[in-house]
Amino acid sequence: GESVGLHLPTLSVQEGDNSIINCAYSNSASDYFIWYKQESGKGPQFIIDIRSNMDKRQGQRVTVLLNKTVKHLSLQIAATQPGDSAVYFCAGYLSGGSYIPTFGRGTSLIVHP
Amino acid sequence: DTGVSQDPRHKITKRGQNVTFRCDPISEHNRLYWYRQTLGQGPEFLTYFQNEAQLEKSRLLSDRFSAERPKGSFSTLEIQRTEQGDSAMYLCASPERGEKLFFGSGTQLSVL
């Protein structure tokens, strides 16, 4: 199977700083990853995804880095804003397996104005 | 709005009662997922459907839980004889353009 986990349960940053949220996974056969953002009382919201044939992917103010050697991925948020305050999850899919993503525990990002 | 609707948003029930939740996924998407999330944890997989067929169930899904997806459209998740440990957020999701899951806002269940 697959297990994913985030390194820190809570990350506090100042508005305008860059944020980095890290995630480790256990199964080297994982070939697709998604980062989700979850605000209080809402379901997880898709942010960005990356396949294992890439090591970097950029979106609007967000970048995901994938290091397959150490089975680690990170989500970087540039110029963090108060609206970025939420819980962030990484989810991984196993190649050749069923289409069932496994979620980590989440990192709570707190942005101070 | 992700296009995935869940009803009700909140449900309070007494231990021992049965509850049923409904999910209306993104239309025309043949896969539908149910997850459960407790406070401070990531979503945990419960079950998923491909059209009307229930293809996989987690060990978390005890015999008190049953899910259906008649006609491959909306889905229901029923919990019989609820226990306090069933208190959680129940999330429904359907994928768009491959594996990318889009979640509904969930049903928050509180069992007293």
Which of A93, A99, A107 should be substituted to probe chain B, the one whose Cβ sees the most B Cβ atoms within 10 Å? A99
Please answer yes or no on whether B48 and A99 come within 8 Å at the CB atom: yes
- Written as six digits, the tokens of A29 are 């056969």
pLDDT for position B85: 95
Note whether B46 contacts A: Cβ–Cβ < 8 A. Answer: no
- Written as six digits, the tokens of B55 are 């293809």
- Tens digits of per-residue pLDDT, A15-58? 999 999 999 988 777 888 999 999 998 999 999 999 999 999 99
CA distance A25 to chain B (A): 14
Mean pLDDT of chain A: 89
Nearest-10 Cα torsion for B52, B58, B63, B69: -10
pLDDT for position B97: 67
Cα separation, B106 vs A87, whole angstroms: 16
pLDDT for position A26: 84
Q: For B24, what's the count of Cα atoms within 13 Å in the CB-facing half-sphere?
A: 8
Cα separation, A59 vs A6, whole angstroms: 21
Size of interface A-B (CB pairs under 8 A): 58
CA distance A32 to chain B (A): 9
Give whole-number Cα distances, A86 to A62, B8, B81, in Å.
14, 23, 34
B81 CB burial (10 A radius; 0-12, 13-18, 19+) = exposed
pLDDT tops 70 at residue A95: no
Amino acid occupying residue B101: L
Note whether A34 contacts B: Cβ–Cβ < 8 A. Answer: yes
Average pLDDT, stretch A58-77?
A: 95
Partner B, chain A 57-86, Cβ-Cβ below 8 Å: none
User: Based on C-alpha coordinates, what's the Rg of chain B?
Assistant: 13
Sign of the dihedral defined by the CA atoms of residues A67, B94, B7, A84, in that order: positive
